[in-house]
Structure 1
Amino acid sequence: MAQVLILGKGAREHALAQTFIASPQVDQVYVAPGNSGMETKGIQILSDIELDDFAAMLAFAKEKAIDLTFVGSEEPLIGGVVDIFQEAGLKIFGPSQAAAQLEGSKDFAKSIMAAAKVPTAHHRTVTSLPEAQAFLTQASWPLVFKIDGLAAGKGVSIIAEEEQARNYLLEVYRTNPAQKLVIEEFLQGPEFSIFSFVGPDGQIQHVPLAQDHKRRFDGDRGPNTGGMGAYSPLPWLNEKDKNRAIQELVLPVLAEMNKQGMPFTGVLYTGVILTKAGPKVIEFNVRLGDPEAQVVLPQLQSDFYQNICDLLAGRPANFIWQKEAYYLGVVLVSPAYPAKSEEKLPVPYYKDLAPLIVNYATVEKDGEQLVSDGGRILTVVGHEANLQAARDEVYRTILANNTALAYRKDIGHAAL
């Protein structure tokens, strides 16, 4: 029987662990560092291994003779964990450090898109306050400001007028006078996420599409977050637009990465906006999205462990996805989120929320009680034959548990 190691600690990694342990070939899943809500039969957390402790990860994988390591979180990928494991002869699924720049640097991603002639927002990259301020004088509003580098889904600001933008820039460059910042035009249209599993031989397997809800409050208002909820598949997107997005956005970027000597293996996340001129790229990430993973992975009907092993070995991977139901997930957060909060709030156990799927993100144990330990706390996922029924099921269960945690009450609104 196989043993799997997952690198990460959030709800996405919990969903991955649940998907791997469902394989008849897997008898043990380890999650480093994981969180206390994940632990159940067959899933063990390694809370003493931090996300940047590659030496400890490698030592554990060797000691336990881990059969497959799957990188869930972006930080280890951008730090080069895949290169380290591969040099040690261990099986790991994810992009190299060079390829992970697609997420690690928004400026790098823009340069790849330009070379591949992939449609995206017009932009300018600046590296100083005077340069950024000068750009504002010739800008059309609103504008999108993106911190170059990892920002946990919170490095994007949409600003509607110049005075607000100038105050934003003063704050950005006060903390880092040499900050690289991508400033781009604001695109309009519905957004969706394409996830592509890519093997080292170039084999590509796409998964059911999903739509995330980035803004903190109902009606898509408030600051950007790591994601407040998602649903999948998308009833409003036709096959023509889906295929066009894959052909014009995903495949050319993968080809360009290969051309530039940085072939991509792992999960490519293409964030797409469907404008009047056609689909355009909002961003690339190099791993499954969170909370999209929580509504996509439960749709898998084939053996995930076998699928990933086949991809890595260059064998045809037979991913089989359900087509009868809609999956909708709502993220429960600290009331202060996305601002930081030290408040420890009680969190419901899975048994209280069954039969829904629960994926824990930032929780810890206080005696017999689970309590919150961060911003996004857990995702509650329901599935029914139609999207409205799935949404009703999730919100009915959340309300029945009288939680003090906060959440959006309109997840899935664009499809309903």
Structure 2
Amino acid sequence: MAKVLIIGAGAREHALAKTFVKSPQVEQVYVAPGNDGMISAGIQTVAIAVDQLTELAAFAQKKKIDLTFVGSEEPLVLGVVDVFKQAGLRIFGPSKQAARLEGSKTFAKNILKEAKVKTADFDSVNSLAQAQAILAKHDLPVVFKLDGLAAGKGVTIISDRQAAKDYLVNLYAKFPHEDLVIEEFMQGIEFSFFSLIGENGAAVHLPPAQDHKRRFDHDKGPNTGGMGAYSPVAEVSEMTIHETIKKIVEPSLKAMCDQGCPFIGVLYTGLMLTKSGPKVVEFNVRFGDPETQAILPQLQGDFYQLILDLLDGKQPLVNWQTTDVFLAVVLSAPGYPADVKKGFLTPLSAQLPAAIDIDYAAVTKSASAFLSNGGRVATLVTHAKTAAAAQKQLYHYLDQAALALDYRHDIGYQLVDFERQTQGK
């Protein structure tokens, strides 16, 4: 029986752990560092931080871990895959060189340019003078993207020219040589597309998802790490998915190979479905949160075997459910993402209706309860034949639960609107 190590701490990693535990081949899943809400039959947390790469590798050797799966981006960008491979350990994820796809917006944009993949027009700058010169000739709204990791919150969209000037002055006053990407504002349906990439061109493409980044209903307020998601995305046609694979994912992977850093792992392609077709918003090199919580429960099969096949260069045979909409709503601490308050009661899985599951992100165990211990506390997940029905059963519970935690009340609204429009035809 196999042992699996997952690196990360949030709801995404909880969803991954539960998916691996379902495999008849897996006897134990460890999550480093994990959180108290994950601990259950077959899942154990390990008090090693995601940036302690040598300690993680030593633990994997000591416990004879058969497979390590990296959930969060930081260890990937730091080079955890290289460290594990040097130790003779099996791990699924990109090398440090390949992880630059997420670690550097400029690198990612240059890959897209080389691959001739559609994306927003952009300029890369690293000084106030350069940035001001680009802004002077730029249409509004303008999009600013910090070059490095930003946990989903490094994008700023500004519609007022003076506000854009002020943003640049403030940024470069703090960081005089900050790498910044300035790009055009794209309009359309935004969606997340995940591909599991193995050796020898083996690849598995997952059902698309729609993430909700803004903090408040109606897409108002600041960007967050993600307040909810749904999957599949009916608004995205099979033709668009095919175009995404053939004209975006595959050329980008080829460009990575041509650059001498072939990609193995989870490729997250953030896309905007514009009037001229899908365009790349960004790349990430790991599963998204909360999209993972809405996607992985759709898998019909053995996730552990799927990953082993990819690492062996075999093309897995994979089935995904096709009848239901999966809806994920994030519970967040009051004040998130700015002034995060802690210590609020969080639902226990045993207290939830049978149709609703929970993936824990930032909780600590206290007596017989879980208390919030961070910004995004947990993700509630349900599914139904329609988005409207999924919303009804999940929000019915939340409305009567009277939680002190916050959440958006409109996750999946795009699909609900789409269902109404198509039903009316």
Give TM-score, length-normalised by structure 2: 0.96
**What residue is the counterpart of 1:371 in the other structure?**
371
- 1:167 maps to a residue whose letter is D
Structure 1 CA distance for aligned equivalents of residues 48 and 237 of structure 2: 44
1:374 Cα deviation (Å)?
Answer: 1.1
**What residue is the counterpart of 1:11 in the other structure?**
11
Structure 2 CA distance for aligned equivalents of residues 351 and 360 of structure 1: 13
- 1:321 maps to a residue whose letter is W
- 1:230 maps to a residue whose letter is A
Give TM-score, length-normalised by structure 1: 0.98
1:363 Cα deviation (Å)?
Answer: 1.1
1:342 Cα deviation (Å)?
Answer: 3.9
Of 362-371 and 214-223, more deviation after overlay is shown by 362-371
Of 162-171 and 135-144, more deviation after overlay is shown by 162-171
Structure 1 CA distance for aligned equivalents of residues 120 and 280 of structure 2: 7
Unaligned runs of 5+ in 2: 417-425
**What residue is the counterpart of 2:2 in the other structure?**
2
What do residues 316-373 of structure 1 show as CA deviations (whole Å, max 9, x unaligned)?
2122211111100001111211114243211111111242111111111233321111
Pairing 1:286-325 to 2, within 5 Å after superposition: 286-325=285-324
Q: Contact (CA 8 Å) 2:342, 2:371: kept in 1 or not?
A: no
SS of residue paired to 2:200 = coil
Q: Contact (CA 8 Å) 1:157, 1:223: kept in 2 or not?
A: no
**What residue is the counterpart of 2:340 in the other structure?**
341
What do residues 274-327 of structure 1 show as CA deviations (whole Å, max 9, x unaligned)?
111111000000011110000000001110001101111122212221111110
Q: Contact (CA 8 Å) 1:101, 1:109: kept in 2 or not?
A: yes
- 2:379 maps to a residue whose letter is T
Q: Quick one: structure 1 residues 141 and 348, their matched pair in 2 at CA, closer, same or farther if it must change by over 3 Å?
A: same
**What residue is the counterpart of 2:134 in the other structure?**
135
**What residue is the counterpart of 1:244 in the other structure?**
243
Pairing 1:13-412 to 2, within 5 Å after superposition: 13-46=13-46, 48-355=47-354, 356-412=356-412
Q: Contact (CA 8 Å) 2:15, 2:292: kept in 1 or not?
A: yes
Structure 1 CA distance for aligned equivalents of residues 342 and 83 of structure 2: 38
* Equivalent pairs, count: 415
Q: Contact (CA 8 Å) 1:213, 1:227: kept in 2 or not?
A: yes
1:401 Cα deviation (Å)?
Answer: 1.8
- 1:271 maps to a residue whose letter is G
SS of residue paired to 2:30 = strand
Structure 1 CA distance for aligned equivalents of residues 190 and 413 of structure 2: 13
1:108 Cα deviation (Å)?
Answer: 0.3
What do residues 38-90 of structure 1 show as CA deviations (whole Å, max 9, x unaligned)?
111110111x2011001110111001000100001100100000011111111
Q: Contact (CA 8 Å) 1:200, 1:263: kept in 2 or not?
A: no
SS of residue paired to 1:114 = helix
Structure 1 CA distance for aligned equivalents of residues 317 and 357 of structure 2: 25
Q: Contact (CA 8 Å) 1:192, 1:212: kept in 2 or not?
A: yes
Unaligned runs of 5+ in 1: none
Structure 2 CA distance for aligned equivalents of residues 163 and 251 of structure 1: 40
SS of residue paired to 1:219 = helix
Structure 2 CA distance for aligned equivalents of residues 354 and 201 of structure 1: 44
- 2:70 maps to a residue whose letter is V
Structure 2 CA distance for aligned equivalents of residues 413 and 341 of structure 1: 26
SS of residue paired to 2:110 = helix
- 1:157 maps to a residue whose letter is T
Of 315-324 and 71-80, more deviation after overlay is shown by 315-324
Structure 2 CA distance for aligned equivalents of residues 354 and 272 of structure 1: 34
What do residues 182-233 of structure 1 show as CA deviations (whole Å, max 9, x unaligned)?
0100000001111000002121110111110111111111111111100011
Structure 1 CA distance for aligned equivalents of residues 157 and 91 of structure 2: 37
SS of residue paired to 1:89 = coil
Give structure 1 regions of 4+ aligned residues with deviation exceeding 3 angstroms: none
**What residue is the counterpart of 1:415 in the other structure?**
415
SS of residue paired to 1:264 = coil
Structure 1 CA distance for aligned equivalents of residues 372 and 49 of structure 2: 19
RMSD: 1.0
Give the share of equivalent positions with the same residue, in percent.
Answer: 54
1:134 Cα deviation (Å)?
Answer: 2.1
Q: Contact (CA 8 Å) 1:8, 1:72: kept in 2 or not?
A: yes
1:405 Cα deviation (Å)?
Answer: 0.9
Q: Contact (CA 8 Å) 1:302, 1:318: kept in 2 or not?
A: no
Structure 1 CA distance for aligned equivalents of residues 210 and 13 of structure 2: 19
1:4 Cα deviation (Å)?
Answer: 0.3
Q: Quick one: structure 1 residues 169 and 367, their matched pair in 2 at CA, closer, same or farther if it must change by over 3 Å?
A: farther
Q: Contact (CA 8 Å) 1:340, 1:374: kept in 2 or not?
A: no
